[in-house]
Amino acid sequence: MSELLYYDLKDVAGVAPSLATQVCRELGRRIVGGLVREGALIDDENKLCERFGVSKSVVREAVKLLVAKGLLEVRRGSGTRVRRRASWSLLDDDVLAWHLSVEPRPGFLNQLLEVRQVFEPSAAAWAAKSATRDQIDEIRAAQRKMENAEEIQDYVVADALFHRAVLRAANNEVLMAMEGVIFSALLSSIRLTNADPRDNKRSIPLHQKVLAAIEAQDADAAEAAMKEHLEGTRERLAQFTADESEGK
Amino acid sequence: MSELLYYDLKDVAGVAPSLATQVCRELGRRIVGGLVREGALIDDENKLCERFGVSKSVVREAVKLLVAKGLLEVRRGSGTRVRRRASWSLLDDDVLAWHLSVEPRPGFLNQLLEVRQVFEPSAAAWAAKSATRDQIDEIRAAQRKMENAEEIQDYVVADALFHRAVLRAANNEVLMAMEGVIFSALLSSIRLTNADPRDNKRSIPLHQKVLAAIEAQDADAAEAAMKEHLEGTRERLAQFTADESEGK
DNA sequence: ATGATACTAAACATCAGATGTTTCAATTGT
DNA sequence: ACAATTGAAACATCTGATGTTTAGTATCAT
């Protein structure tokens, strides 16, 4: 197990993830990245042990994890194969992260944003109706962090925290489970828009608008403001990917 | 491993799931069901082996699966503990199913339906814009099945197929990953409204309306029709849970 | 030739037990 | 008291043996 050793945002700083986790990530990235065709058999357990230099237990745990994420299907006797893309758990944090770390297609980012455009405005509306004082404080704190951020990274993280806080304030457990989707989407937007910090700061007033509406318990305004903000994000993404495919 | 042996909808008929899967389900159900407090340590590997009568490999695989689903957190040296509820992957098919198979609170079903009310109308709108002929055929086929269903079970399954077909026709991969949410929600509604078949048949014209709008490529109408349908479902659920808590 | 049966190799499933590593807490020496 | 040491508990990994299922192949009777 020398070639591997992946670190992830989820890992606590300095602590190496278990071998099983590492093998899982390596295989997951390759599958999501399309290096193994859908429906194709992957190497058998022994081959995998050899390839990664680990024991069978480790390989088995890794494979099981990928089965749980819908990426693999193992059949005793015949082997382990990649399931068709439609069966993958795209809402799983890891699967999503692998997609975004590997996926060059702008189409996927678009689809992700489309989905955010659907549920985040509703989340804002619900937050306006049901947010507690603490939850509003959390949103406000994120807003302040965005305003005070000097480094682009701090800004983007604060942005993500803002959206997560709104999601939490909606007080819907199922919705809250989409937290990972937001973080992943934001994270990948870092890569795209990293270049131009000024462009990002532009979205502060729109966040402010969302916050104000939630503070005022005005559900309609909150929904509209969030919708407006995401529409802006979408336009910028479209413009950026256009530049990308054309200019480069 | 005698006491266990759970079967699930996912299992192919007649094929017993692996021991690891069974142990995973048993532990998962107990955790989701609240038999183990959040933050509490669970039994160590040896104890679990003893309790379930399986070897350590099996227990480890099961635990790893639950870690992947966000239910557990293992720390070498100190033990394995239940993560706080907010960290659970509520969108994972299994976790969702465990919730619904165990959760007595009507609040959760409500939240699930709220989320459906958010994204299914949009899915219908997108389907109206981008569905292929085959995808529309799939929706229509489900509609016919609902109309021709004689048994209540066939009816409910057809209902689920209808909603899934709409989701697919939206041609958004991320959205499609919410398929499991719909099936789980529908499945649990079986238990609630099982009693009155006539009441269910009432929703056929609303499904028809959605189908017609999608066929006509009228996005606004499709969105409105789906919204109307889900609103009806919601009212019935509210009424039903009211009866439940009052009458019984 | 053809169809059914039996055999076999491949691949996953499970078990058992040994050894390493990390954490936490109790013990010990000052 | 306090800091360092020690040891038990618990997870991580390895090894190798044995069982089960599957798919393909070879064989044999008709």
| CATH number of the domain encompassing residue A173 | 1.20.120.530
Instruction: Classify residue A45: in a domain, yes or no.
Output: yes
Instruction: Classify residue B4: in a domain, yes or no.
Output: no
CB A229 within 8 A of CB A200: no
Confidence category of residue A239, pLDDT binned at 50, 70, 90: confident
Of all residues in chain A, the one with the smallest CA distance to B178 is A91
Instruction: Classify residue B92: in a domain, yes or no.
Output: no
Report helix, strand or coil for A73. strand
Tell me which range, B170-179, B182-191, B200-209, is most confidently predicted by mean pLDDT. B170-179
Q: Are residues A134 and A232 in the same domain?
A: yes
Indicate the number of domains in chain B.
2
Q: Are residues B118 and B229 in the same domain?
A: yes
| Ramachandran bin of A83, using left for φ above 0, alpha for ψ from -120 to 50, beta for the remaining angles | beta
Q: Are residues A36 and A116 in the same domain?
A: no
pLDDT tens profile A12-60: 444 567 888 899 999 999 999 999 999 999 999 999 999 999 999 999 9
Q: Are residues B80 and B198 in the same domain?
A: no
**What length does chain A have?**
248
Report helix, strand or coil for B80. strand
> Of A113, A129, A112, A98, which Cα lies nearest the Cα of A32?
A98
CA A141 → CA A144, A170, A202, B69, B235, distances in Å?
5, 17, 18, 30, 37
Q: Are residues A178 and A227 in the same domain?
A: yes
**The two three-digit tokens of residue B156, written as one number:** 């409910």
What percentage of chain A reaches a pLDDT higher than 90?
52
Instruction: Classify residue A6: in a domain, yes or no.
Output: no
Is the pLDDT reported for residue B9 higher than 60?
no
Residues 68-87 of B with CB under 8 A from A: 68-69, 85-86
Instruction: Classify residue B57: in a domain, yes or no.
Output: yes
Q: Are residues A80 and A115 in the same domain?
A: no
Final residue of a structural domain among B35, B60, B87? B87
Dihedral, CA atoms, A121, A127, A129, A132, nearest 10 degrees?
Answer: -170
Whether B181 sits inside 8 A of A174 (CB atoms) is yes
Distance A44 CA to D25 C1' (A): 22
Whether B69 sits inside 8 A of A65 (CB atoms) is no
Q: Are residues A81 and A109 in the same domain?
A: no
Final residue of a structural domain among A87, A120, A146? A87
CA B42 → CA A188, A222, B64, B171, distances in Å?
36, 42, 14, 42
Final residue of a structural domain among A62, A87, A112? A87
pLDDT confidence of residue A170? 96
Q: Are residues B46 and B125 in the same domain?
A: no
Report helix, strand or coil for A99. helix
Q: Are residues A113 and A203 in the same domain?
A: yes
Distance B61 CA to D19 C1' (A): 19
pLDDT confidence of residue A26? 92
**The two three-digit tokens of residue B198, written as one number:** 């006539």
The set of strand D positions with any atom below 7 Å of a protein CB reads 8-17, 19-23
Confidence category of residue A2, pLDDT binned at 50, 70, 90: very low
Instruction: Classify residue B8: in a domain, yes or no.
Output: no
Q: Are residues A126 and A236 in the same domain?
A: yes
CA distance B61 to chain A (A): 6
pLDDT confidence of residue A126? 96
Whether B111 sits inside 8 A of A175 (CB atoms) is yes
Q: Strand D proximity: list residues 2-61 of A with CB under 7 Å.
A: 18-20, 53-58, 61
Q: Are residues B145 and B63 in the same domain?
A: no
CATH number at residue B61: 1.10.10.10
Residues 26-65 of B with CB under 8 A from A: 57, 60-61, 64-65
Instruction: Classify residue B56: in a domain, yes or no.
Output: yes
Q: How far is B138 from B140, CA to CA, in rounded Å?
A: 5
Write out chain A residues lying below 8 Å of B178, CB-based.
91
What percentage of chain B reaches a pLDDT higher than 90?
53
Confidence category of residue A248, pLDDT binned at 50, 70, 90: very low
Q: Are residues B138 and B167 in the same domain?
A: yes
Confidence category of residue B13, pLDDT binned at 50, 70, 90: very low
Is the pLDDT reported for residue A155 higher than 90?
no
Domain region containing A34: 19-87
Instruction: Classify residue B230: in a domain, yes or no.
Output: yes
Q: Is the ipTM of this complex over 0.95?
A: no
